[in-house]
Amino acid sequence: MERTLYDQDHEDFRAVVREFVAREVTPHQQRWDEEHRIDL
């Protein structure tokens, strides 16, 4: 289904955020949950 609500800039931003989360959050998430904290 093609979305008409958002333009290419929005889709590009979503891709950047998705890549950031995969690189910077996902690898640490289990440890953060276990330690009840996040890295600074």
Q: pLDDT tens-digit profile of 1-40?
A: 676 788 999 999 999 999 999 999 999 999 989 998 866 6
pLDDT recorded at residue 4: 77
Cβ-contact 29, 38 below 8 angstroms: no
| Domains held by the chain: number | 1
What range defines the domain where residue 24 resides?
1-40
The mean pLDDT of the chain is: 89
What beta strand segments (E) does 1-40 contain?
none
